[in-house]
């Protein structure tokens, strides 16, 4: 009989989907870092600037105290993707700035060229803390290591109308 002392009565599909969608973003950005953006592909990435591990120039942090949307399209440099996030240099008004974004800080990822988008929502865990706790600890992919007090995050397809230009 299996030992159920560390298990719950449900499968955490939301947490598993969250982890899979972050992996999808990692794969896409790794391919772009290696090969460049193919065709008309480009990305709008919105992230929580307060998340642990986000690294922005002080003036950008001041201008975007809660969240920021970056566009990876025509000019970017030094895209480097790791297991937990990416760094990139982007041009802000003729001022190149290096920034670091952990995957867990991403709120939306959209590629309007193919009408693809993901939105990650955070909801407090039942009877657990709310706020900026890490939604998926680094060791959570090991069986029995899930953090039941962390906020639950779900991934969903996002409406691209938010990013369309009004004509």
What is the CATH code of the structural domain delimited by 13-161? 2.30.30.220
Query: Per-domain residue ranges for the chain?
Result: 13-161
**Which spans in the chain are helix H?**
13-35, 58-63
Residue 164 has pLDDT above 80, yes or no: no
Looking up tokens 């895209």, which residue turns up? 79
* CA separation for the pair 61, 44 (Å, rounded): 18
Q: What is the pLDDT of residues 69-94, one digit of tens each?
A: 999 998 899 999 999 999 999 998 88
């Amino acid at each position: 009989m299996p030992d159920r002392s560390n298990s719950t009565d449900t499968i955490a599909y939301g947490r598993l989907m969250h982890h899979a969608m972050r992996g999808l973003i990692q794969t896409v950005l790794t391919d772009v870092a290696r090969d460049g953006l193919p065709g008309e592909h480009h990305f709008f990435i919105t992230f929580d600037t307060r998340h642990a591990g986000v690294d922005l120039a002080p003036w950008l942090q001041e201008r975007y105290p809660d969240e920021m949307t970056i566009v990876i399209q025509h000019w970017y440099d030094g895209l480097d993707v790791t297991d937990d996030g990416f760094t990139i240099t982007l041009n802000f008004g003729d001022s190149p700035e290096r920034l670091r974004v952990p995957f867990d800080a991403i709120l939306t990822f959209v590629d309007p060229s193919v009408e693809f988008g993901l939105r990650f929502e955070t909801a407090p865990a039942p009877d657990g803390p709310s706020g900026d706790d890490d939604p998926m600890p680094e060791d959570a992919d090991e069986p029995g290591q899930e953090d039941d007090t962390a906020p639950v995050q779900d991934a969903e397809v996002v409406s691209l109308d938010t990013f369309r230009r009004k004509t």
